[in-house]
A and B are shown apart, each in its own frame.
Chain A
Amino acid sequence: MLTLAPDAASRKAGSKLAAPAPWSETGTGRDAVWGLCRGSGSTPYRTVVDLTGPASQCSCPSRKFPCKHALGLLLLWAQGPAGPDAVPRAEPPRWADDWLAGRRAKAESRGRATAEAAGRAADPEAARRRAERRARRVAAGATELEQRLADLLRGGLAGADQAGYTVWDETAARMVDAQAPGLASRVRELAGAAASGPGWPGRLLAECALLHLLCRGALRLAQLPAPLAATVRGHLGLTTEAAALLADPEAVVRDRWLVLGRAEAEDGRLTVRRFWLRGERTGREALLLSFGAAGRAPELALPVGRVLDAELAYHPAALPLRAALGHRHAEPDGGGTPRGVPVAEALAAYGRGLAADPWLEGWPAVLRDAVPLPGADGGPWHLADAAGPDALPLAATGRSALWRLAAVSGGGPVTVFGECGHRGFTPHTVWSEGEAIAL
């Protein structure tokens, strides 16, 4: 339940509200929970949670989603510290019913809506003109960036580690103007590479080179083979709308998707939440992205370790991974430990991925029988095969994730999901006795 919380503060506030005291007129029925929560104002907040989402609606001014009232109500309903009568079964009151009815009507018509969304592009001539205009802008941006990279190499990288972020931020802003958000976020990362400590020139050169490669790809899109062109478009940020992807019945894949892991990161002013899935039938991995603007938590919330019966549509790419989530057929259920591979195989899968997509930073991997090993002499921790000598260094792993992983393993073999990339392995989920623990 708490994994639904957008951040630690909400989790805390929500768990504080999981007591019956502030609540009145609570009830549950028709797959929903509702109640009135007395806050600081004179009128209580009206909170409704649709359990089929889960989605929630609250009259409080909080811009977090779900807000603490919805979280508290869910916790109260789920655990009932005051006994089952804290949230009695009932028919929803008018104010809750209105929202629920509206929401479900919307969900039903979503199938139609996606079709309509595709239909909105009905004017093919106008759409083509829009696409051409954007392509020209992106090409201009790529040309300009090429020039800047060449200038950088002409003058030399020496001193770039002292230059700070401003110079890169300005270039990134130019790329945003050129409607190439993929180029903009890569430019911002150059600043990080330059400030990454000993060995930075190699890392900065590598990033510059891959950015250069991407610019070249952007300028030669028409000549590239179709799958590679799609990959380049994806990295440039020229993605197809989810609705359009899902409108193509051929592209939609229905499966029971195990939610392998979740991660959240800041990109500029956006919060990006990632969910990795693996289909039971197809055995394919998929990546769902959800964005939250300006401090708002992304809306998509899936329970790690559970299985989701749903339809997905992959974004076109030489190596399809990112997908759009379509219709969900049932509530998340089940779970269990996913099948894993040894370290060498995870690394090989990333290598194969690079063959299709040279910009690939990492590839999802489930390691089986992996043992976390503390780093020698303050070096990074490793994840090693229990039965062999192979190991990967842990990369981009926070304090709490690292120690939780170590605690769950206790020095013994565990199944771990994460991303295997050129920096090492970033763990996101560990399984213990069949139960998924998000790191």
Chain B
Amino acid sequence: MDTDVTEPGATKTGADVTETGADANATETGAEADATDADGGWEELVTAALLGAERRTPPGGSPAAVLDRAAVATVRRRAGARPASPAERPAPAAADPRPALPAPAARRLALLLAGRAGAGQGGRRGTAPDLAELLPQWLAAANAHGYRAPAGQLPALLDAARARTDLRAEALAFAGPRALWLAGLNPEWRFALRGTAGVAAVPPDDARAVRELWEEGLFAERVALLTALRRQDADAARALLETTWSSERAEDRLLFLDTLRERPTARDEPFLERALADRSRTVRATAAELLSALPGSALAARMSARARACVHPDRTGAAAGVGLVVEAPYECDAAMQRDGVVAAPPSGRGERSWWFGQVVESAPLEDWPAHLGARDAARIVALPVSDGWRADLHAAWARAAVRQQDAAWARALLGSPRLPLAEGAADPARLLTVLPAGERAAWAAEFVAAHGLAEAFRLLGTCAVPWSGALGDAVIDALEIAREAGSYPWSFSGVMGLAERCLDPAQAERLRPLAAQADEPASGAPGSGGYWAEAFQRLASTLHVRAAMLTELADAAPAP
């Protein structure tokens, strides 16, 4: 079914100019030179041109004659080009039924992605918002509304997801099935096919397909399959894992075990108990950790007994009747090691304190009140501890509170935000994650009000976005105090960056007076006033952009 598009008129025009008029049929396939056909002696002309007239008399007798003939042949070949007909036609991308973005939001996305391309160039940041930093929020908001990505932006989205793993999950969810189709065609985007993507095609109730993917899939596909199945049917997922457990490599076993972390159940216990005898030390440790957080597990009971043997109410010492004494383990026996206690301490750490910490962090917190004869966590934490064991004991309890997600213990261990942070004790940022969002923000706000921003970065990072009014006020006040104290704003660049991303856009009004150039305090670093005004301007303009981009997405939002 070739369409003949040969147009002999072209030859005639060439002849008008060159006064040469050879005649032959010319074809060229798919606009690409094809020398095999009858082409008016083209190959002969090329050979003659390569050799040169000095070495061999060319067709026509002179260089000019060769050029004349080549001109005619070239025009004829070009005019006679025929369409190609490639055989393979890949299947089109799956349809994406999500609604299109509102036009202003689509323009915003293009801006954010264009900003990403230039990110990472050095230099002072100036007053303009850092658009690349807003992309994660934009993607999360767009996904929450359930929009479809504009097709023309998919390559830029895939490039962004390739460069930044923190964006990847949201970017790929937003990019949708067409991005996966593209990724199948471009090796640079192969990453998008790993992870949950390949699994989407396998329905968990198709036992044969699940089995096949589990046995033959790539590692990442298998992890994704296990994770997805685990969410649907925890027992089926564990059973699937057990079919091949003993033949998996140690590092794979560790990551497969991690899929049980999300919602461990009592029915996982026998499997986890067997994993305590695993060949790999890290697998054993992970199994022990999972078991210790499993309410009512045998391992938790064993650990509880060990821990209770180490901590007693003080009956004889200085704090008799009101304090605690700690008697750390004297050895790490085989049973303890089997339950996940690591025998060898890191350098600089005493053996007994090391064992003690591991035992206490794995013991259920709920067993302590009865054992110590106190009513609740707050009272227990307030008790004095003899012989300098307080820091060890509290740090271990803090790890237990995080592992067991126990808000009462976390609250007690955090204590008042107005007190200075105790050296080497509990990690407040991790404890904060256990508290409900409102309480977390209130605690962080009070902490910032009392201590300023120097140690606040990680605490602020745990707070929900956008920050509550009280927390936002506290951070802005603290920044203002820092400016008054005459320091440079880049000493606070981490907190500034967080504030740009997390402050409630409604706070922009408060920043207006701060963004005006202020007089430098007499004691201040030279030029700091201008830099602060610049930093506050950037903060304010970033909040404007965030407010605008969320409004754009919410406008004309599709009915859920």
In the assembled complex, the Cα of A394 lies from the Cα of B17 at a distance in Å of 31
In the assembled complex, the Cα of A210 lies from the Cα of B153 at a distance in Å of 41
> Which of B108-116, B217-225, B333-341, B372-380 binds A?
B108-116
Are A220 and B17 touching (Cβ within 8 A)? yes
* Contacting residues, chain B, for A79 (C-beta < 8 A): 104, 107-108, 548
In the assembled complex, the Cα of A171 lies from the Cα of B426 at a distance in Å of 78
1/0 per residue B286-312: CB within 8 Å of A?
A: 000000000000000000000000000
1/0 per residue A332-367: CB within 8 Å of B?
A: 000000000001100110111011111000000000
In the assembled complex, the Cα of A388 lies from the Cα of B537 at a distance in Å of 59
> Which of B60-68, B139-147, B475-483 binds A?
B60-68
Are A12 and B114 touching (Cβ within 8 A)? yes
Q: Which of A199, A224, A356, A432 contacts B152 (CB 8 A)?
A: A432
- The A-contacting residues of B in range 511-560, CB under 8 angstroms, are 515, 537-538, 540-542, 544-545, 547-549
Q: Which of A17, A391, A400 contacts B128 (CB 8 A)?
A: A17
Are B114 and A15 touching (Cβ within 8 A)? yes
Q: Which of A348, A390, A423 contacts B85 (CB 8 A)?
A: A390
- The B-contacting residues of A in range 423-439, CB under 8 angstroms, are 423-424, 430, 432-433, 437
Are B50 and A157 touching (Cβ within 8 A)? yes
In the assembled complex, the Cα of A388 lies from the Cα of B86 at a distance in Å of 11
* Contacting residues, chain B, for A217 (C-beta < 8 A): 17
- CB contacts between A and B, total, < 8 Å: 275
Decide yes or no whether B506 CB sits under 8 A from chain A.
Answer: no
Known contacts A79-B107, A154-B63, A358-B14: does B541 contact A390 (CB below 8 Å)?
Answer: no
Are B16 and A403 touching (Cβ within 8 A)? no
In the assembled complex, the Cα of A155 lies from the Cα of B48 at a distance in Å of 11
- Closest A-chain residue to B121, C-beta based? A12
- Closest B-chain residue to A12, C-beta based? B118
Are A82 and B544 touching (Cβ within 8 A)? yes
In the assembled complex, the Cα of A392 lies from the Cα of B114 at a distance in Å of 31
Decide yes or no whether A21 CB sits under 8 A from chain B.
Answer: yes
Known contacts A19-B128, A355-B9: does B93 contact A153 (CB below 8 Å)?
Answer: no
> Which of B25-33, B199-207, B236-244, B392-400 binds A?
B25-33
Decide yes or no whether A228 CB sits under 8 A from chain B.
Answer: yes
* Contacting residues, chain A, for B118 (C-beta < 8 A): 8-9, 12
Decide yes or no whether B316 CB sits under 8 A from chain A.
Answer: no
Are A422 and B50 touching (Cβ within 8 A)? no
- The A-contacting residues of B in range 152-195, CB under 8 angstroms, are 152-155, 178-179, 181-182, 185-186
* Contacting residues, chain A, for B52 (C-beta < 8 A): 153-158
1/0 per residue B66-78: CB within 8 Å of A?
A: 1110110111011
- Closest A-chain residue to B85, C-beta based? A389
Q: Which of A11, A16, A422 contacts B78 (CB 8 A)?
A: A422
In the assembled complex, the Cα of A388 lies from the Cα of B100 at a distance in Å of 31
Main secondary structure of the interface of B (DSSP, over half): helix
Q: Which of A2, A80, A392, A430 contacts B30 (CB 8 A)?
A: A392
Are B178 and A16 touching (Cβ within 8 A)? no
In the assembled complex, the Cα of A9 lies from the Cα of B68 at a distance in Å of 47
Are B86 and A373 touching (Cβ within 8 A)? yes
Decide yes or no whether B471 CB sits under 8 A from chain A.
Answer: no
In the assembled complex, the Cα of A228 lies from the Cα of B515 at a distance in Å of 67
Known contacts A15-B115, A201-B49, A202-B42: does B54 contact A209 (CB below 8 Å)?
Answer: no
In the assembled complex, the Cα of A12 lies from the Cα of B104 at a distance in Å of 18
Q: What is the total number of residues of chain B having a CB less than 8 Å from a CB of chain A?
A: 95
Are B128 and A16 touching (Cβ within 8 A)? yes
1/0 per residue B106-138: CB within 8 Å of A?
A: 011011001101100000001111010000000
Known contacts A205-B46, A354-B7, A371-B89: does B31 contact A392 (CB below 8 Å)?
Answer: yes
- Closest B-chain residue to A357, C-beta based? B13
- Closest B-chain residue to A407, C-beta based? B154
Known contacts A158-B50, A158-B51: does B178 contact A410 (CB below 8 Å)?
Answer: yes
Are A412 and B92 touching (Cβ within 8 A)? yes
A interface bracket (residues with beta carbon within 8 Å of B): 35 or more
Q: Which of A149, A220, A351, A375 contacts B81 (CB 8 A)?
A: A351
Are B64 and A205 touching (Cβ within 8 A)? no
Q: Which of B51, B84, B115, B155 contacts A391 (CB 8 A)?
A: B84
In the assembled complex, the Cα of A430 lies from the Cα of B150 at a distance in Å of 13
Q: Which of B51, B89, B541 contacts A373 (CB 8 A)?
A: B89
In the assembled complex, the Cα of A351 lies from the Cα of B76 at a distance in Å of 9
Q: Which of A15, A20, A348, A391 contacts B7 (CB 8 A)?
A: A348
* Contacting residues, chain A, for B281 (C-beta < 8 A): none
Known contacts A21-B515, A79-B107, A392-B31: does B541 contact A344 (CB below 8 Å)?
Answer: no
Are B3 and A344 touching (Cβ within 8 A)? yes
Decide yes or no whether B88 CB sits under 8 A from chain A.
Answer: yes
Given contacts A213-B17, A403-B186, A432-B152, 5 further A-B contacts (CB under 8 A): A15-B131, A209-B68, A209-B74, A355-B7, A373-B88
Q: Give me the interface of B with A, judged by CB distance under 8 Å.
A: 1, 3, 5-7, 9-10, 12-14, 16-18, 28, 30-33, 35, 42, 45-46, 49-55, 58, 62-64, 66-68, 70-71, 73-75, 77-93, 100, 104, 107-108, 110-111, 114-115, 117-118, 126-129, 131, 151-155, 178-179, 181-182, 185-186, 515, 537-538, 540-542, 544-545, 547-549
A-B contact pairs, 21 of them (CB 8 A): A2-B111, A146-B64, A150-B63, A153-B53, A157-B50, A203-B33, A213-B17, A344-B5, A347-B3, A347-B82, A351-B79, A355-B7, A358-B13, A374-B90, A382-B30, A384-B89, A388-B1, A390-B85, A406-B182, A411-B91, A422-B77
